[in-house]
Amino acid sequence: MQQLILEDYAISVGDISRVLPLFLSERSYSSLLILMDENTRRDCFPLLEPLLPDGTPRQIIEIPAGETHKTVSTCETIWAAMLHAGADRKALLLNLGGGVIGDMGGFCAVTFKRGIDFVQIPTTLLSQVDASIGGKLGIDFGGVKNSIGVFRNPQAVFIDPRFLQTLSKRELYSGFAEVIKHALIADPGHWETIQSGDPAALAGDTQTILRSLGIKQTIVQADPFEKGIRKALNFGHTVGHAVEAWSLQTDRPLLHGEAVALGMIAEAHLSNQLTRLPDRALGDISRYLLHTYQLNALPEDCFPDFIERMQNDKKNAGGRINCSLLEAPGGARIDQYVSEEDIQRSLRYFNACVLRLGTRRE
């Protein structure tokens, strides 16, 4: 069992049965609400259920899986279930699932009766290395990802690598995109390790999770409300979010990490043009990501749609498009304002790479 101690909560990485019962016995919650989707209820809850104390009332709240359900309407379902269960301010919400469950469940907890405690039990690699630090909670609204939400830390995070065994390879790789991103913005040594290792083995490795969490912790603690350096974590996400949101309306939706991988290629190109990322690093990044992820070229007639989505991104001010770019692997530059033409060129670069390199390494 390893623990990362943050300012006001701890992240435990290891066997959850060694930490959760103690956490619960040290506190006197009036009831336990467990938020899950049908997948985590089937695959993950069997590991959790024996750890819940018999004496405390519990209520399961099951919602449908998937980003398309990260909505106000699902929040209403969750709030209603909490009210119906008679939950009071001393109730605890346990969010068992990926980023959707954690972000939306956290938001529902923070707003229920003006705030009850919640803990995150992330079950995907993406949520383990990314969503478990930083206190970003929320839902999608008006076609804009995470446009409604708040910042708030959970009371605790429990990361058990055994949950990753329930994931498909595609989902595991999706989470790995954030591991790659953390390395690219702040840890050149880790980027070297990643390039020379086997993605499948690295993606499920406890030490990789801990190293990635450590990078994020350092950045978030330096800037909890995303006024400065924390924006570095948005590398790959300006383009990635826009393409992800678009793809959800097509019949070939991208996973979040796949969209971020695509976004990192486009934004590495922007970095090469605007913040002097060396040609060689651009080539390494593009090649590695296209060999690791199965990505398709983007339709050129959708570029204006992507750009409009970027202009609506909540990170932007005054309609300009703000990116976090790289000056080198391991070195980020925040608050880079890019033009529509820059974005278009970077998307065309991505498409050209797909044509040249886009065969999956097997």
Is 178 considered catalytic here?
yes
CB 199 within 8 A of CB 112: no
> 224 or 358, CB closer to a copy of itself?
224
**Which parts of 216-255 interact with a copy of itself (CB under 8 A)?**
none
Asked if 155 touches a copy of itself (CB under 8 A), the answer is no
Q: Quick check: 59 binds a copy of itself (CB under 8 A)? A: no
Tell me: does residue 72 bind a copy of itself (CB under 8 A): yes
Nearer to a copy of itself, 327 or 340 (CB): 340
Continuous H helices in 169-255: 169-186, 188-196, 199-203, 206-222, 237-247
Cβ atoms 12, 213 nearer than 8 A: no
Residue 180 DSSP code: H
User: Could you give the CA distance from residue 98 to residue 122 in angstroms, rounded to a whole number?
Assistant: 5
Q: Would you count residue 150 as binding a copy of itself (CB under 8 A)?
A: yes
Closest to 217 (Cα-Cα) out of 135, 272, 327, 106: 135
Q: Which of 226, 291, 316, 340 is catalytic?
A: 226
Q: Give residues with Cβ within 8 angstroms of 16, minimum separation 6.
A: 47, 48, 51, 121, 158, 160
Number of residues that bind a copy of itself (CB under 8 A): 35
Antiparallel, parallel or unpaired: β 136-141 and 144-151: antiparallel
Contact call for residue 114 and a copy of itself (CB under 8 A): yes
- Write down the catalytic residue from 41, 70, 136, 182: 136
Cβ contact 156:303 at 8 Å: no
- Sole binder of a copy of itself in the list 53, 83, 192, 352 (CB under 8 A): 83
> Pattern of binders to a copy of itself over 1-30, x per CB under 8 A?
-----------------------------x
Q: Which of 67, 171, 178, 244 is catalytic?
A: 178
Residues 174, 330: Cα–Cα separation, whole Å: 21
The answer to whether the CB of 259 falls within 8 A of the CB of 181 is no
Q: How far is the first Cα of the chain from the last one, in angstroms, to the nearest whole number?
A: 33
Which residue has 């498909």 as its token pair?
A: 168
The verdict on 128 binding a copy of itself (CB under 8 A) reads no
Task: Give me the catalytic one of 7, 26, 114, 227.
Answer: 114
> What amino acid is encoded at 61 in this protein?
I
Minimum separation from the CB atom of position 322 to a copy of itself (A): 10
**Contact status: 136 vs a copy of itself (CB under 8 A):** yes
User: Does 309 interact with a copy of itself (rule: CB under 8 A)?
Assistant: no
Which residues bind to a copy of itself, rule: CB under 8 A? 30, 72, 75-76, 79-80, 83, 86, 88-90, 110-115, 136, 138, 141-142, 144, 146-151, 312, 314-319
Residues noted as catalytic:
114, 136, 178, 216, 226, 230, 234, 237, 241, 256
